[in-house]
Amino acid sequence: MRVFLIILGALSMLLGFGCAVSGFGTFRVVDSDGYISSGPGELTTTTSAIVAQTSEIEDRSGDPGFREGKVRVRIRAARSDGGEVFIGIASAEAVEAYLRGSPYEVVREIEFDPLAYEGDIVPGGGVPGRPAESADWVASASGRGEQELDWRVRSGSHAFVIMNAGGSAGVTVEADLAVKLPYVRGFGVALMASGVVLLTAGLLLIVLPLRNARRQGVAPDTGAPDDAAGP
């Protein structure tokens, strides 16, 4: 029984350590506003726009947290040359219609920390009009310096674009992409708390049987004097 409790305690401590480390890692990647950020990185294309589908988020809309619009997407971008930048989100159909005939780059994979992407160029010979005036955006931001777009995810297929505000080709920006998922910070805290509980329980399961075994292995001191030797 003693050996079983020690083994159980060791397993509990191992599981607790894993929970604590995972919880700390989850908590650490969330910034002060509750976003998981890619960190700053350069996005560049020789075309008129960088376009990224939000399908990876939208595909998870079966989760109640997504249906209730609790997920937010935050996009920050600033042109490297100091010019005006445009950030916009619209339905995928509206973005495609706006850029039809113009060259643009579609992002097919985004990596966080550091921010990097792989994309495919859609060729075209046209020049899109000024984006702020040419499409039905559900959210947008434009201007000089760093611009920020914070959007609550909706159902449906959407895409975001990063462009020069004038629609000209050759886009180079310093960007930061982030997503805010429901309960991530709380999940990290819960994992850390569970890890501490399991570590404590495992330690007790190991220490108490060993302490009891040590006590049982020492003969009790009765305090009686040794038998006197006979005459």
Burial (0-12, 13-18, 19+ Cβ within 10 Å), 33:
exposed
Would you give per-residue pLDDT tens digits along the chain (231 residues)? Answer: 777 777 777 787 777 677 766 655 555 567 667 788 888 899 999 999 999 876 544 444 445 555 456 788 889 999 999 999 999 999 999 999 999 999 999 998 888 878 888 899 999 989 898 998 888 899 999 999 999 999 988 878 889 999 999 999 999 999 998 888 766 656 556 666 776 777 787 777 777 777 776 766 544 444 455 554 444
Q: Domain spanning 30-182: which CATH class is it, in words?
A: mainly beta
For the chain, the domains span 2-26+185-213, 30-182
Neighbour count for residue 69 (Cβ, 10 Å): 13
CB-based burial label for 139 (10 Å; 0-12, 13-18, 19+): middle
